[in-house]
Structure 1
C-alpha cells in the first residue's frame, strides 16, 4: 500500500470513527494498519476520592422532621389510663426492674449478677445518667436486657407543663436509641406519679407505662435483709419488683440481688422481661 493510499484510508477511518471516540479510533487503526495503538494519557494520580473534601450539595435531602439525625419511626400505641402493675406469662413468671441509673458504681455489679444466672431484667434509665454512661446501655443491649424511659431529670411530672413532660421523655428516648440501639418501648413515671399528659405523650412516643407490684424500698437503705425479705414475701406469678441502681448508695441493693435471685430461681420462678403487644 502506497503512502498516499494509507493517508487516504486513515482520513476515512478517522471520519467514520469520530462518534466512537479517541480510544475506539486508535483501536480500529491498529487493527487495520498493524500499527501500535497510541493510548490516551491517564490523568495524574492524586489522593483517593474518599480523601478529597466533599462540597455541600444543594440537592442533598434533609430529614422531613427536622435538621437532626433521623430517628426510628414511633410505634403505634394505645393510650392507657393507668399503668400496668403486673405482667402476663405462663407459670411462675416475675420481672425485676431497676430505676434511676445507670450508675458506674452499682449498675455493673447488678449486670454481673444477672449474667451469672443468665437472667434478663429491665432498667428504667434517666437521660442525664444515661448520656454519661452509654457504655452501660450498650452492655444492657448486648446481654439482652430491656431499657425503659424514666425521664431525663427525674422530675415530678404532675407539676410540669405538657411541653416539659414531652421534652423529658423525648430527650431520653433519643439517648437510649443512640446508646442502646433502639427506642424504648416502656416508660415509668418518677415517684409513680402519673397523669393524663404522661400517658398520652408516652403513647405518642411509642411507649407503654409500667409501674410495679412489689416495692423493695431500697432507696431508704433499710438493710440488705429487709430488701431480700420484701422480694421473697412479695414473690408471685406476674409480679414486677422495683429496685434502684442509682440515686444514692445502692450497695444494699447490689448485695440483696445476690441473695434473693438464686433463691427465686431455686423456688421455680422464671425471671424474664415483658413483651410488647402493638396496636
Structure 2
C-alpha cells in the first residue's frame, strides 16, 4: 500500500472513531424483535426459547431465566386498576417477595402503593418513563427513557432501581446493550399469558392450572396487576407451586 493510501485509510479510521463509534456500537444489530418464550420446553419444564435468549444476550446482562432455582414473580405496572393492594396483601400473607416494574405514569400517580412495595421488601423495576419501545428510539432517547424514570424514583422514593423490562417485550441487540450501559440488568420472562386485557379476563380455574403448571427452576413469571383473575388465583398459585416443590425468591442475576 502506498504512503498516500495508508494516510487516507488512517484518516478515514480517525473520522469514524471521532464520530462517537469508538464503542463499536455501530456493529450491533438494531432489528426490532418481539420477545416470546415459545411453547417448547426441555426436560425440566423450562421454555427452550427462554434459554436461547439467555445464551444469546447474557453478555448484555439480559435474562429470561435466572441462575437460581427459585420462582421469581414479577408484575408489570402500567396503570392502577384496584388490584395491586390485594395482590400485596396476598404476597405479605404468603411471605413472598416480587418485582414490580413501574412506568413513569404509575410511579407518579400511585405514591402510596409504590411506598408500600418498597417498605414490604419488594423490588421496584424500571418499565420505561413513557413505556416506549426502545428499538424505535435513538441512543439518547433510550438513555432518557430509562434514566429519567431512574432519577425520578431515586429522588421521590429514595430508591435506586437496577432491573429493566422492555416495554411491549420489544428489544434489539443494540437496545439491550444500551440498557446495560445504563447500569441495568434486563429481565424478560419464561412464563406469561394473556392476562392483561381487563375486558376479556381469562377463566380462573383454567388460568390457575396454566400458571401453576408452568413452574420450573429459575422461572421468571410475568403477570399484570390489572388482572382480576390474577388477583383471585394468586393465593392458590403460590400454594400449588410450593406443593410442587418450588419456592419463591428475588432475582439471582
TM value normalised by structure 1: 0.64
Pick from 84, 98, 106 the counterpart of residue 121 of structure 1: 98
Where in structure 1 do 4 or more consecutive aligned residues deviate above 3 Å?
A: 78-82
Q: CA deviation at 1:179?
A: 4.2
Q: Which has the larger radius of gyration?
A: 1
Matching of residues 211-222 of structure 1 within 5 Å: 211-220=188-197, 221-222=201-202
Map 1:168-179 to 2 at 5 A.
Answer: 168-179=145-156
* CA RMSD, Structure 1 to Structure 2 (Å): 2.1
Report deviation, 1:234: 0.9
Output one character per residue of 1:67-97: Cα deviation in whole Å (capped at 9) or x when no partner: xxxxxxxxxxx9844730111224xx11111
Deviation at 1:200, TM superposition (A): 2.8
State the distance in 1 between where 2:130 and 2:206 align: 28
SS at match of 2:109: coil
Q: Are the aligned partners of 1:101 and 1:126 in contact in 2 as well (CA < 8 Å)?
A: yes
- Please report how far the alpha carbon of residue 143 of structure 1 lies from its aligned counterpart in structure 2 after TM superposition: 0.8
In structure 2, the residue matched to 1:16 is: none
Q: Verify: 1:271 aligned to 2:248, yes or no.
A: yes
Cα distance between partner residues in 1 of 2:60 and 2:118: 30
Is the contact made by 1:79 and 1:199 (CA closer than 8 Å) also made in structure 2?
A: no
Match of 1:89 among 59, 68, 71: 68
How far is the alpha carbon of 1:146 from its aligned partner? 0.7
What secondary structure does 2:216 align onto? Answer: coil
Post-superposition shift, 1:122?
Answer: 0.6
Structure 1 stretches of 5 or more lacking a match?
1-77
Greater percentage in helix: 2
Higher relative contact order (CA 8 A, sep 6+): 2
Matches within 5 A, 1:10-49: none
TM-score (norm. length: structure 2): 0.70
Q: Distance in 1 between matches of 2:203 and 2:129?
A: 29
- Matched pairs, number: 194
The residue that corresponds to 2:214 in the other structure is 234
Mapped to 2, the partners of 1:180 and 1:211 lie a distance apart of: 24
Pick aligned residue for 2:140 from 163, 169, 173 = 163
* 3-state DSSP of counterpart to 1:264: helix
CA distance in 2, matches of 1:274, 1:256: 23
